Homo-oligomer: A and B are copies of this chain.
């Protein structure tokens, strides 16, 4: 089993049933989710040893979150128990012209209070083939940023491939540092980057022209000039017809070439949250299989598309199903 490691917060997600708003609800559906754990969850489902590193409060919520990740086949051996509380977020599902609304209730979470030295990265990363992080972690607290830098330094020493999803959230970054100062040394140690133009422009002032291929290539070149470790930049542009009707495709730049996938029409989306994480997971899986770059972005994008058909934030479609979507399966068959 190939070993992959991720670091990041896991929150309880609370969602009114169906299309209810919170003010209509007398119960909330719950699950446990975090951008990085969602990546590792997909990879664990697909047969890898996915280790997620985090910190949960030592209370009923923390233990429930552990069980949730274990049920999804993740290895939780290195999650530490301690700290104040589990972060939460409330989701009101959008419909038609009504957008989905997320209300975060995140700080002061157990994860945001991690500190340098808390995790034995040498042991955790021993034998790993991949490490994944997102820009949410350094946005939470100085301690979280420190812990991430520790991990990245060990990865560099061990030659472990690193992917990072910039994932800029303006509501975070409250501890007095700017994204550019904190994330620059991190990107200097990262080979695969997921970023939207909004991310690169807001944080690094790196913008693009209008035509999609060239614009994206321009951003990628500028990013690579600044962070020479980068080998791949990928993104999945989304067209938004309504809250539950989107179109999605995938773009990849490998330092020389731009590649894109076909455009998927996605009607009656079941759950969009977590699809970006599944895109990342798809890329990692394909890369670890040694597939070529077109296959990487095709598999990543088909993974993201298929993810929209499952409830919850973590991918539940098998590798075989992703390949079928990639090959044009419309889902209209009944599999008996």
Residues of A at the B interface (CB closer than 8 Å) are: 14, 17-31, 59-61, 63-64, 67-68, 70-73, 85-86, 88, 90, 92, 94-105, 108, 169, 171, 238-246, 264, 266-270, 272-273, 305-306, 308-312, 316-317, 321, 325, 329-336
Contact = CB atoms under 8 A, between A and B. Distances in A.
A233 to B, nearest CB: 23
A335 B100 contact: yes
B330 A240 contact: yes
Given A17-B27, A20-B311, 18 more contacts: A22-B60, A25-B30, A60-B90, A60-B103, A70-B71, A86-B105, A94-B334, A96-B267, A96-B268, A97-B309, A99-B332, A104-B336, A108-B108, A238-B332, A242-B268, A242-B330, A245-B268, A246-B332
Closest 3 CB pairs of A and B: A240-B332, A71-B71, A98-B309
Contacts of A85: 105
Nearest to A105: B85
Contacts of A99: 329, 331-335
A92 B165 CA distance: 32
B105 A270 contact: no
B169 A243 contact: no
Contact of A67 (B72, B92, B243, B272): B72
29 contacts: A14-B28, A19-B310, A20-B311, A22-B64, A23-B60, A23-B316, A60-B92, A61-B90, A85-B105, A95-B309, A96-B306, A96-B309, A97-B330, A97-B331, A98-B306, A98-B331, A100-B333, A100-B334, A102-B335, A102-B336, A104-B336, A108-B108, A171-B336, A240-B330, A242-B267, A242-B268, A243-B330, A243-B332, A245-B332
A96 B331 contact: yes
A94 B316 CA distance: 12
Nearest to A17: B27
